[in-house]
C-alpha cells in the first residue's frame, strides 16, 4: 500500500484507480425510475480531487456534467444550517434510517420528523426551511455552487426536473404527510417544484469537488469567508459519514472511511477534512442506489493514499 505524503500529487493515484475500474466487470444499472437517467451508460467514469487551495486533479469523465440528484442535499443543508443554526435539528434528526431513501415507514411513529437530512423526507424539510428563509432555495443553491466551483454555466436540467415531477408521487406523499404534522411551512406544490429543480442540477466531478471544499476547510468558503462554524462543519461531515449513503452507510464507512454523500445520478462526494474533497461519477448503481464503480474507486483511493478519518 502506497501511503501518500504531503508533497505528492493525486494524479498518479487517480490514473491507477481509473485503470483498475476500467478492468472491473459489472458496473450496476442506472436509475430506471427517472427516465432521463435510465439511458446513461453505466461504464462512464470520472473522478476529481480538489485541494483546499482550489487545485483540482481529475481523470476520465471528470469534466462531464451529470445529474447531481441527492448530492445537492449536502449543500442545501449547509446553506440552511448557516442561517438558522441548531433550530434546524428540531425539525430533522441526525440518525441513520435503516430504510430506503424514499420510505414513509418511520415518519408516522416519529411524528413527522425525518430521521436525517439526507433521506428524501429530511431533504424536503431542509429545502422547505431554506425556501422560507430565501424565497428561492433552488436559486440559492445554484448561486452557491456557481461561486464555489467557479463555473458560471452550472444550471438545472429542466427535462430531468419535469421527469422527476411526473414521477414524484412518493415525494409528494412524504411532503403532505409531514405537513399534516406541521413540519412543512410552504405550500407542498411550491416545495416540490423547488426540490425537483434542486435535484436536477447538472455539474461535473470537478465542479462538485471544488464546491464541497468548504467541508475540508472546516466551514471556510473559496473566497475566504466563513459559511459554517467549526462545529457546524463537523456536524455535516458526521451526518454524511453515518447517513450519506442511505441504508449502506455502515458498509461505506467500513470500505471507504470518509464522510460521503451519494446520488442516484451516479455521483458521490467525499471529504478528507483538512486535506481534500473528492467527487466520483459512474451511473451504474447497486441495489441501494449507490454507484458501484464510485464506491470501489473511493475504497481504492483511501487504501492507496492512507487518507481517511480513521
Annotated active-site positions, please?
70, 73, 195, 246, 264
305 CB contacts (<8 Å, ≥6 apart)? 2, 3, 4, 10, 13
Identify the three-state secondary structure at position 174. helix
* 267 vs 260: CA distance, rounded Å: 10
* 92 vs 111: CA distance, rounded Å: 11
7 CB contacts (<8 Å, ≥6 apart)? none
Whole-Å CA distances, 75 to 92, 177, 261, 286:
16, 24, 11, 24
* 191 vs 297: CA distance, rounded Å: 35
Classify residue 186 as exposed, middle or buried by CB count within 10 Å of its CB (0-12, 13-18, 19+). middle
Q: How many CB atoms lie within 10 A of CB 190?
A: 11
List the beta strands (DSSP E) in 29-106: 46-50, 56-60, 66-67
Identify the three-state secondary structure at position 225. coil
The cell for 151 is 463555473
Could you give the strand order of the β-sheet that contains 260-262, starting from the edge strand earlier in sequence? 56-60, 46-50, 276-281, 267-272, 260-262
The cell for 89 is 435539528
Contacts of 154-157 spanning 24+ positions with Cβ under 8 A: 154/65, 154/201, 154/202, 154/203, 154/207, 155/201, 155/202, 156/197, 156/200, 156/201, 156/202, 157/36, 157/67, 157/200, 157/201, 157/202
Amino acid at each position: 500500500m502506497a501511503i501518500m505524503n504531503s508533497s505528492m500529487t493525486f494524479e498518479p493515484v487517480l490514473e491507477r484507480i481509473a485503470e483498475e475500474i476500467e478492468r472491473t466487470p459489472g458496473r450496476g444499472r442506472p436509475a430506471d425510475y427517472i427516465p432521463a437517467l435510465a439511458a446513461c451508460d453505466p461504464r462512464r467514469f470520472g473522478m476529481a480531487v480538489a485541494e483546499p487551495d482550489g487545485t483540482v486533479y481529475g481523470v476520465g469523465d471528470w469534466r462531464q456534467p451529470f445529474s447531481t440528484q441527492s448530492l445537492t442535499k449536502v449543500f442545501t443543508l449547509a446553506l440552511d444550517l448557516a442561517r438558522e443554526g441548531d433550530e434546524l435539528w428540531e425539525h430533522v434528526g441526525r440518525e441513520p434510517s435503516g430504510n430506503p431513501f424514499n420510505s414513509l415507514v418511520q415518519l408516522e411513529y416519529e411524528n413527522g420528523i425525518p430521521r436525517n437530512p439526507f433521506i428524501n423526507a429530511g431533504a424536503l424539510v431542509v429545502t422547505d426551511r431554506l425556501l422560507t428563509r430565501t424565497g428561492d432555495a433552488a436559486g440559492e443553491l445554484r448561486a452557491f455552487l456557481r461561486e464555489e466551483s467557479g463555473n458560471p454555466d452550472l444550471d438545472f436540467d429542466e427535462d430531468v426536473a419535469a421527469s422527476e415531477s411526473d414521477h414524484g408521487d412518493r415525494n409528494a406523499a412524504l411532503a403532505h404527510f409531514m405537513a399534516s404534522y406541521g413540519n412543512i411551512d410552504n405550500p407542498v406544490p411550491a416545495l416540490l417544484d423547488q426540490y425537483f429543480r434542486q435535484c436536477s442540477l447538472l455539474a461535473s466531478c470537478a465542479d462538485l469537488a471544488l464546491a464541497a471544499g468548504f467541508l475540508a476547510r472546516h466551514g471556510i468558503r473559496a473566497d475566504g469567508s466563513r459559511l459554517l462554524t467549526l462545529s457546524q462543519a463537523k456536524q455535516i461531515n458526521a451526518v454524511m459519514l453515518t447517513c450519506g449513503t442511505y441504508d449502506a452507510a455502515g458498509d461505506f464507512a467500513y470500505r471507504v472511511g470518509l464522510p460521503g454523500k451519494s446520488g442516484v445520478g451516479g455521483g458521490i462526494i467525499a471529504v478528507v477534512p483538512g486535506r481534500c474533497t473528492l467527487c466520483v461519477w459512474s451511473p451504474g448503481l447497486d441495489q441501494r442506489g449507490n454507484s458501484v464503480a464510485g464506491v470501489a474507486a473511493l475504497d481504492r483511493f483511501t487504501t492507496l493514499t492512507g487518507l481517511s478519518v480513521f
